[in-house]
Amino acid sequence: RLGAAPPLLHLRSRPSAMPAEPAAAHAAEKPPLTSDYLDCAQLRFSLGCTTVADKAPLKAQLLKQIEEKEMAPFYRATCEALGWEADAALLAKLEAANATELARLSDAIKTAEESEGESEICSAMLAKAEFLMRIGERAKALAALEETYAKTVGLGPKLDLLLTKLRLALFFDDKKLTADTIDAAKGLLDQGGDWERRNRLKVYEAVFHISTRSFKKAADLLLDSVATFTATELISYNTFVLYTVTTSLLSLPRADLKSKVIDAPEILQVLGEIPHLANLLNGLYECRYRTLMEALVGIVDSLYADRYMHAHTRFYWRELRVLAYNQFLESYRSVSLAGMATSFGVSADFLDKELSGFIAAERLSCKIDKVNLVVSSTRPDKQSAQFHSAIKQGDLLLNRLQKLSRVINV
């Protein structure tokens, strides 16, 4: 049963494993970045999720953030998206505060252009861009960031601007802008760049891959960042561990899962703080399939209300069950349907229908004897499987060559 919205997992923010490189002079006095900005997008998403049972606390939390940060454009868009009736007095108050702050920031830019240097001009322009971004003015914030980037010198400040642009793209779920900005940041890192920005970019890229269902790429990047996680402005450390474990379960072989995830001290220190995650991980590795299935239900509830995982929840639900069934059947040449159902904590009828579907889709190498109610493994040998894979890939290549030859002849 899909229930309440998942917590935003703010229980712990992992400290930097190494001292950060000094920031640029114009950013030295800025307060540390937090995940409050992207949390607003997550709160709005949770409020629009039909499976969230108790929305009142989430709504109160979101309205508090909107009022504190004077997010008039975001408030207006949220009311339209969720069908709320806008509070006219609150909206007028926020718009007046926005107009006053924008006038002040514009005057600061003008003053810097008239009497100060390039560094001060960039700082003033960046302050305006960050304000527009904070209140939810997507187009204006993007234009201001582009203008600031054009005037910025130095790899470090430019990379910081690209990371800010990535947060804007992720906030508005703009996948094309996210992909383009990641490519631009990688290009700058090829020219140089410190370890902290490089590792932060890995987390940003991993989150993007999660949103596009590239779980293998995401898992590799997240595992590379486990010991050096500092991107707390994007996600909390608990959320980072949730993503790391869930993507690794589908991506890593058992040996790597043990060494890189189960025995990783950085993961173990918060694993128990995230509901159902320890049972999901250990249930699969230790072949405790009933525990795994129970934990999977809870984890799917959380993933369904997560902005980046929501669209892939059904896929994750299906693929992890296929993985568990395959792992179970590797230990047996044949097993009774009732015995297997007991191991997974489900009914024999449910398991019969489930296995039949996966067998028909060629996801499981087994067959069901309906007379004796026995599941028999029919796994092909590895050499035969590689032969059939080579034949299939060869057919695809020949088809593509034929299509290409027709185009060339025309």
End-to-end C-alpha distance for the chain, whole angstroms: 57
Which DSSP category does 206 fall into?
H
Query: Of 367, 296, 295, 293, which Cα lies nearest the Cα of 337?
Result: 367
Query: Of 43, 37, 32, which Cα lies nearest the Cα of 8?
Result: 43
Per 3-state DSSP, the chain is made up of helix, strand and coil in percentages (nearest 5) of 70, 5, 25
* Res 406: pLDDT: 81
Amino acid at 317: W
More confident residue, 408 or 81: 81
Q: In a 10 Å sphere around its CB, with 0-12 CB exposed, 13-18 middle and 19+ buried, how is residue 370 labelled? A: exposed
**What is the residue-wise DSSP string for 261-301?**
IIT-HHHHHHHTTSTTHHHHHHHHHTT-HHHHHHHHHHHHH
Handedness of CA 133, 135, 137, 140 (dihedral sign): negative
Query: Is residue 261 within 8 Å of residue 252, measured between CB atoms?
Result: yes
Query: Residue 142: pLDDT above 60?
Result: yes
Arithmetic mean of pLDDT over the chain? 89
pLDDT tens readout for residues 298-334: 999 999 999 999 999 999 999 999 999 999 999 888 9
Find tokens 């187009």 and name the residue.
139
Query: Residue 6: pLDDT above 60?
Result: no
Element (H, E) at 233: none
CA distances from 277 to 213, 239, 281 (A): 20, 11, 6
Q: How many CB atoms lie within 10 A of CB 49?
A: 18
* 53-73: average pLDDT: 93
* 184-195: average pLDDT: 89
Query: Of 313, 285, 291, which Cα lies nearest the Cα of 300?
Result: 313
* 2-9: average pLDDT: 48
Distance CA 130, CA 69 (A): 12
pLDDT above 90 as % of the chain? 74
* Res 283: pLDDT: 96
Q: In a 10 Å sphere around its CB, with 0-12 CB exposed, 13-18 middle and 19+ buried, how is residue 12 labelled? A: middle
Please name every residue paired with 368 in a beta bridge, in sequence order, or none if there are none: 375
Distance CA 113, CA 389 (A): 64
* Res 23: pLDDT: 36
* 128-143: average pLDDT: 96
Least confident of 38-47, 177-186, 305-314, 397-406: 397-406
* 66-70: average pLDDT: 95
Please name every residue paired with 334 in a beta bridge, in sequence order, or none if there are none: 376
Query: Residue 29: pLDDT above 60?
Result: no
Query: Residue 403: pLDDT above 60?
Result: yes
Which DSSP category does 346 fall into?
S
Query: Which tokens belong to 184?
Result: 């631009």
Handedness of CA 149, 155, 157, 161 (dihedral sign): positive
Which DSSP category does 4 fall into?
S
pLDDT tens readout for residues 350-391: 999 999 999 999 899 899 998 999 999 887 656 666 777 888
pLDDT tens readout for residues 222-259: 999 999 999 999 999 999 999 999 999 999 999 899 99
* Res 24: pLDDT: 38
* 168-191: average pLDDT: 95
Position 30 confidence tier, pLDDT thresholds 50, 70, 90: low
